[in-house]
Structure 1
Amino acid sequence: MKLKSRVLVVGGGAIGGLFAWRLSLSPAVTVSLVCRSNYQKVKTSGYLINSAQFGKAVYRPSAVFRTVEEAAAADGPFDYVIVALKALPNIYDSSESIQQAVGPNTMIVLFQNGIGIEEPFVKRFPFNSLVSSVSFVSVKQEEDGVLKHGGFSMIAAGIHNFKRSLGEDTEKLEHLFRAFESQGVSCTIESDIQPYRWQKHILNGSTNPVSVICGGSSCQEMVKNDYCRRLLEETMEEIFVLGKRVTGKAFPGVDGIVDPQSATEYISSIPVPVYTSMLVDSQCKRPMERDVILKNPIDLAEKLGVSVPHMKALYALVTMVEESYSK
């Protein structure tokens, strides 16, 4: 009998909880989950999930741990470590946090937003397979252990750093993706994932910081205001120009987003209010993903001589907001 692949999902928030649930339904894998702030609730009651795509469910993880060290001691090292932590390089190093769970044959799969997230993992694990993935999904944790998910879930991924050969690592990634696809999650493997990462950043790099500055507005409310919509579109234009300069390629046009105007039209078409993760973090007085959302792209722009005045202004403002409640 073929042994099941062992998967550790590190980070039990909205993305980690949703994808751990879908994977746990596949007979090809066993899933362990590391939760932090919501550990007690998930350990006691599991997740209450309301999904427009998959329906309502209660997901009780068979193995949930408070720390990576506890998970590693119980069942490590793992075949796959999925990193679903917030990317906060100014607070902690995500690569260091998973070290105990990584063995010689572990494939590390990043489910994190932002630009430039891969390099800390390449430096710490130069001999491990590293996958950079981008999730196109609307899901939020409304309270500890309570997830609300929309009607769509897609993962695009590419091998960022391969261990043995690109073919062997692609085969291993395909095994994981077959488990996802068997449970309704659309998956695609790309030879170059960075255009997809920049595609998602069109929305992330604009609506996230602007929503914080607007003081709590939904994405739809922002695009209804002429001045705010113009700010969003001008910021998006900077991201389009910079991303194409960095990657040397056109973006894939997911959700029909091919320019700033189509991006704001897409936001307007979403039937339910969307509140960004950076806004939620600021309202809860938590650190925001300001470095991977804004600072890393700004640093790239300065190296390449690309003008990004809107991004620089937004970075200064959200930094001030975060400092105002973190003192």
Structure 2
Amino acid sequence: MELKPRVLVVGGGAIGGLFAWRLSLSRNVVVSLVCRSNYNQIKTNGYLINSTQFGKAIYHPYNTYQSVEEAVANEGTYDYVIVALKALPNIYDSSLRVSPAVGDNTMVVLFQNGIGIEQPFVDRFPRTALVSSVSFVSVKQEECGVLRHGGFSLLASGLHSGCPESRNRDIAKMHYLFDAFESQGVSSIIENDIQPYRWQKHILNGSTNPVSVICGGSTSCQEMVKNEHCRKLLENIMAEIFTLGKIVTGKPFPGVDGITDPKTATDYIASIPVPVFTSMLVDSQCKRPMERDVILKNPIALAEAHGVDVPHMRALYAMITMIEEGYSK
């Protein structure tokens, strides 16, 4: 009997849990999951999922592990490793955390937010097929093991690096994985260059995330754009992201969700029917590390390299850094 490709999803939060669930419904792969803070809940009870797009479900992963090392001890290295960890390079190296599961024939797939997330993996695994994937989805872990998902899910992905002589084989392997997602209702786009999509998502991530933390309280994205002054601030930050992203990639943004400029971005936020709270705000309220480097620091470094002035990003990074450093005081 032909063995199905084995997938390890590392990170059992909202993104990891949702996409592991959809992928597990395919008959073409076997999916295991590494959880940390919610391990006991998922191992015992699975995920309770309430999805506008897919309906309600209880998802019990094929195997649930507390660590990558435990997964490898039980199953060996994997055909695919999906990295759904928060991108916190100032705290830990995601590439190091997943390295035990990466073998000679493993494809590493990044489901992480932010800019510049790929480089640590390129440095550690220079000949490994690396896929950068951008998720356009609204999903939140409302409480431990309970996911609420909206009415839409899209993955835009591309082969970022790998061994030149195996490129055609790697592209076919990438298509195999995302065809499995597509078969379970997750829209999939494959691009030769995924970076314009990554910058497209960053229009919202790079603006609403840090501003929501600075606004404080229980401020939703919709409340921020209702405020005349805050909306203007968001649009100024978005203008910097548009300018920088186009210079860095040398390409226009793809216009997902009809977002083609700062005004259409804030109009889109205002049109979302349910309150949206950013992941950075939730992390701040729980006094957890925020994805400040991949959201702000890395784009600022690119701005310096390309001679682009980004005063709003610089101000946000200074304030977010002070807020996070204040956790321990």
- TM-score bracket relative to the smaller structure: over 0.9
Q: Distance in 2 between matches of 1:326 and 1:68?
A: 29
What's the secondary structure of 1:105's corresponding residue?
Answer: strand
Q: Distance in 2 between matches of 1:196 and 1:168?
A: 24
CA offset at residue 167 of structure 1? 1.7
1:192 matched residue in structure 2: 193
The code of the aligned residue for 1:69 comes to E
1:89 matched residue in structure 2: 89
1:311 matched residue in structure 2: 313
The code of the aligned residue for 1:187 comes to S
Q: After the TM superposition, which residues 250-265 of structure 1 pair with which residues of structure 2 at under 5 Å, given as runs?
A: 250-265=252-267
What's the secondary structure of 1:104's corresponding residue?
Answer: strand
1:2 matched residue in structure 2: 2
Task: Output one character per residue of 1:221-257: Cα deviation in whole Å (capped at 9) or x when no partner.
Answer: 0000000000000000000000000000000000000
1:235 matched residue in structure 2: 237
The code of the aligned residue for 1:196 comes to Y
Q: Distance in 1 between matches of 2:20 and 2:328?
A: 31
Q: Distance in 1 between matches of 2:247 and 2:46?
A: 44
Q: Distance in 2 between matches of 1:2 and 1:229?
A: 55
1:173 matched residue in structure 2: 174
The share of aligned pairs that are identical, in percent, is: 75
Which ranges of structure 1 fall in alignment gaps of 5 or more residues? Answer: none
Q: After the TM superposition, which residues 61-72 of structure 1 pair with which residues of structure 2 at under 5 Å, given as runs?
A: 61-72=61-72
1:29 matched residue in structure 2: 29
2:295 matched residue in structure 1: 293
Which of 263, 286, 300 is equivalent to 1:284? 286
Superposed structure 1 runs of 4+ greater than 3 Å apart? none
The code of the aligned residue for 1:194 comes to Q
1:183 matched residue in structure 2: 184
Which ranges of structure 2 fall in alignment gaps of 5 or more residues? Answer: none
2:79 matched residue in structure 1: 79
Q: Distance in 2 between matches of 1:192 and 1:208?
A: 25
The code of the aligned residue for 2:206 comes to G
What's the secondary structure of 1:114's corresponding residue?
Answer: coil
1:119 aligns with 2:124: no
The code of the aligned residue for 1:273 comes to P
CA offset at residue 178 of structure 1? 1.2
Task: Output one character per residue of 1:86-107: Cα deviation in whole Å (capped at 9) or x when no partner.
Answer: 0000000000000110000000
Q: Distance in 1 between matches of 2:328 and 2:94?
A: 21
Q: Distance in 2 between matches of 1:165 and 1:82?
A: 20
The code of the aligned residue for 2:173 comes to K
What's the secondary structure of 2:308's corresponding residue?
Answer: coil
CA offset at residue 326 of structure 1? 3.3
Task: Output one character per residue of 1:237-295: Cα deviation in whole Å (capped at 9) or x when no partner.
Answer: 00000000000000000000000000000000000000000000000110000000000
TM-score, normalisation: structure 1: 0.99
Q: Distance in 2 between matches of 1:218 and 1:185?
A: 26
What's the secondary structure of 2:287's corresponding residue?
Answer: coil
Q: Distance in 1 between matches of 2:42 and 2:7?
A: 18
The code of the aligned residue for 2:100 comes to Q
Q: Distance in 1 between matches of 2:60 and 2:107?
A: 25
The code of the aligned residue for 1:143 comes to E
Q: CA RMSD in A?
A: 0.7
CA offset at residue 165 of structure 1? 3.0
The code of the aligned residue for 2:122 comes to V
Aligned residues: 327
1:203 matched residue in structure 2: 204
What's the secondary structure of 1:81's corresponding residue?
Answer: strand
What's the secondary structure of 1:165's corresponding residue?
Answer: helix
Task: Output one character per residue of 1:168-208: Cα deviation in whole Å (capped at 9) or x when no partner.
Answer: 11100011011111110001110100000000000000000
CA offset at residue 127 of structure 1? 1.2
1:44 matched residue in structure 2: 44
TM-score, normalisation: structure 2: 0.98
2:138 matched residue in structure 1: 138
Q: Distance in 2 between matches of 1:326 and 1:93?
A: 22
What's the secondary structure of 1:106's corresponding residue?
Answer: strand
1:17 matched residue in structure 2: 17
CA offset at residue 306 of structure 1? 0.2
What's the secondary structure of 2:116's corresponding residue?
Answer: coil
